[in-house]
Amino acid sequence: MNKHDSKPVRILIVDDHPVVQAGLASMLTTHKGIEVVGSASSGEEAVAMVQQEMPDVILLDLRMPGMSGIDTLRALKEIKATARAIILTSFETDENIYRAIQAGAQGYLLKDTSQNQMLEAIATVHAGKRYIPRQIAARLAERMLRSDLTSRELEILEMLAKGLTNKQIGHALEISENTVRNHVNSIMEKLEVSDRTEAVAVAIQQGIIQISG
């Protein structure tokens, strides 16, 4: 075993809910192999604290006001932070999982996870491995098999979700109706659906697009 094994794993908690911060800190500090070095309530604060406290592992909320968990991961990558991040969230759409891993997360846990599973995830990630629960890994694999939608296709998909016709989309984007039709066909092929209504339903279900209120 290497010399780092005798040292406690230094944890930074990043969550905009004080109750979650306090609960996690209280739970983790009871374990002698773990040292909670601090809590941050925003991505900006997290980036500053990572540089100051040099944690080994970050427990990172996905959705925070301002800088999201994904944005925070990207910012940490830019400053070449050595801390390894575990996303701890209530959200598990295919797209959230995919984007988090793409941005550099080494683990992905839901907030209703057991204490034992969280400790296992921390130990695994600290050891340099990835920790993704089986059911989330299956969804990630499925998402990675699907071709990425282009920015234009995402734009058209959002318009489809608003109920716009090909003609209306073409007018809005200043492209021909035929070009829109080709994009819609490509979207349906990539999402493996048979019509535009199903494409919208699948895109919303998987978190590819969000619909407001």
Residue 211 lies in a domain: no
For residue 184, the enclosing domain spans 151-205
pLDDT score for 1: 37
Do 115 and 70 share a structural domain? yes
Residue 107 lies in a domain: yes
**Residue that terminates a domain, selected from 144, 160, 185:** 144
Exposed e or buried b per residue across 80-117, where buried means at least 16 C-beta atoms within 10 angstroms of its C-beta: ebebbbbbbbebbbbbbbbbbbebebbbbbebeeeeee
pLDDT score for 212: 64
- Mean pLDDT per block of 10 residues along the chain (213 residues) reads 68 95 94 94 95 96 91 94 94 85 94 92 96 88 76 93 95 95 94 93 85 63
Do 67 and 39 share a structural domain? yes
Do 167 and 136 share a structural domain? no
**Residue that terminates a domain, selected from 91, 113, 144:** 144
Give the three-class secondary structure for 59. strand
pLDDT score for 147: 63
Q: Which residues pair with 88 in a beta bridge?
A: 109
